[in-house]
């Protein structure tokens, strides 16, 4: 076989035979390339919550490094919400706060940008503390499934800048819950390590 001839692989998703250049390199795979072509991978990830979460995180990271974090206009548009994102209670001048959805102190690196801020009542803000938002959803009685669904939708849409489908909302909810579990497991492992 001629070494210079590009190798051909059949994509498992579209079943089309394509040159190796159209597959991602993956050393874990038997032929050293991904089982599906780049186009199929892109297509699949576009409707996948994992991808949404990753994109949202990258966006936060990128913008969080910038000097200018939040504009007056962004702040004003955030403040047009008149109820708490987590319990739905009406907000007044007295109880209204801006919560960092992903705490700045945590390993998942919440950023000080508009996308990471949401309007919350003082009581939810302090009850949530530095917990992962999905953990707060799980333990707060007032953070109902409807509020959680609305929250995940608006949070994701603001970060990625487009409307998302109901299926994407469900993927995103699942992924946030999984992420919270994973972070808890990791921090437990760390505890174990320091105790030894
Ligand atoms: Zn394909
Ligand atoms: Zn609240």
In tens, the pLDDT along 62-84 reads: 666 554 456 667 666 666 668 99
Query: Are residues 127 and 142 located together in one domain of the fold?
Result: yes
2 part of a folded domain: no
Q: In the predicted model, what is the mean pLDDT of the chain?
A: 81
* pLDDT at position 178: 87
Query: Are residues 61 and 107 located together in one domain of the fold?
Result: yes
Q: What is the mean pLDDT of residues 84-108?
A: 83
190 part of a folded domain: no
Q: How many Å lie between the centroid of ligand 1 and the Cα of residue 6?
A: 17
The answer on pLDDT for 170 being more than 70 is: yes
Check residues 180 and 43 and name the one with the higher pLDDT.
180
Query: Are residues 109 and 141 located together in one domain of the fold?
Result: yes
Query: Are residues 87 and 40 located together in one domain of the fold?
Result: no
31 part of a folded domain: yes
Q: Of 7-16, 106-115, 142-151, which gets the smallest average pLDDT?
A: 106-115
Q: How many Å lie between the centroid of ligand 2 and the Cα of residue 181?
A: 23
The answer on pLDDT for 46 being more than 90 is: no
Instruction: Give how many domains the chain has, as a whole number.
Output: 2
**pLDDT band of 196, cuts 50, 70, 90:** very low
Domain extent, residue 97, equals: 47-185
Query: Are residues 123 and 32 located together in one domain of the fold?
Result: no
Measuring CA to CA, which residue among 178, 151, 157 is closest to residue 55? 157
Q: How many Å lie between the centroid of ligand 2 and the Cα of residue 160?
A: 25
Q: How many Å lie between the centroid of ligand 1 and the Cα of residue 192?
A: 44
Query: Are residues 88 and 117 located together in one domain of the fold?
Result: yes
* pLDDT at position 16: 93
* pLDDT at position 69: 58
Q: Which ligand is nearest to the CA of 99?
A: 2
Q: How many Å lie between the centroid of ligand 1 and the Cα of residue 179?
A: 29
* pLDDT at position 107: 53
Residues ≥6 apart with Cβ < 8 Å to 110: 60, 100, 101, 102, 103, 104, 116
Q: How many Å lie between the centroid of ligand 2 and the Cα of residue 9?
A: 54
Q: What percent of the chain lies above the pLDDT cut of 70?
A: 71
194 part of a folded domain: no
Check residues 74 and 154 and name the one with the higher pLDDT.
154
Q: How many angstroms separate the Cα of 149 from the Cα of each of 17, 24, 84, 96, 177? A: 41, 34, 14, 21, 12
191 part of a folded domain: no
21 part of a folded domain: yes
Check residues 171 and 54 and name the one with the higher pLDDT.
171
Query: Are residues 103 and 39 located together in one domain of the fold?
Result: no
Check residues 106 and 129 and name the one with the higher pLDDT.
129
95 part of a folded domain: yes
* pLDDT at position 11: 92
The answer on pLDDT for 32 being more than 80 is: yes
Q: How far is residue 12's CA from residue 24's CA, in Å, rounded to a whole number?
A: 13
Q: How far is residue 187's CA from residue 191's CA, in Å, rounded to a whole number?
A: 6
Q: Which ligand is nearest to the CA of 121?
A: 2
Query: Are residues 141 and 72 located together in one domain of the fold?
Result: yes
**pLDDT band of 126, cuts 50, 70, 90:** very high
Q: How many Å lie between the centroid of ligand 1 and the Cα of residue 5?
A: 21
Check residues 162 and 105 and name the one with the higher pLDDT.
162
Query: Are residues 36 and 104 located together in one domain of the fold?
Result: no
Burial class, 116, CB count within 10 angstroms (exposed 0-12 / middle 13-18 / buried 19+) = buried
91 part of a folded domain: yes
Query: Are residues 32 and 75 located together in one domain of the fold?
Result: no
Q: What tokens does 160 get?
A: 């990625």
Query: Are residues 102 and 52 located together in one domain of the fold?
Result: yes
Residue 11: DSSP 8-state: -
Query: Are residues 33 and 66 located together in one domain of the fold?
Result: no
């Amino acid at each position: 076989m001629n070494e210079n001839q590009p190798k051909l692989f059949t994509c498992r998703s579209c079943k089309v035979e394509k040159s190796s250049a159209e597959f991602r390199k993956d050393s874990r795979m038997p032929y050293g390339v991904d089982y599906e072509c780049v186009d199929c991978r892109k297509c699949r990830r576009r409707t996948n919550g994992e991808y949404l979460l990753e994109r949202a995180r990258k966006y936060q990271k990128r913008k969080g490094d910038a000097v200018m974090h939040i504009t007056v206009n962004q702040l004003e548009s955030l403040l047009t919400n008149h109820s708490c994102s987590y319990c739905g209670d009406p907000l007044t001048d007295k109880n209204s706060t801006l919560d960092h959805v992903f705490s700045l102190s945590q390993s998942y690196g919440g950023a000080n940008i508009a996308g990471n801020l949401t309007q919350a009542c003082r009581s939810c803000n302090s009850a949530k503390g530095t917990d992962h938002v999905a953990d707060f959803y799980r333990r707060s009685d007032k953070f109902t499934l409807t509020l959680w669904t609305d929250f995940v939708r608006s949070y994701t849409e603001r970060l990625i800048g487009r409307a998302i489908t109901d299926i994407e909302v469900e993927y995103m909810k699942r992924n946030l819950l999984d992420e919270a579990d994973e972070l808890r497991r990791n921090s437990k492992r760390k505890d174990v390590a320091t105790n030894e």
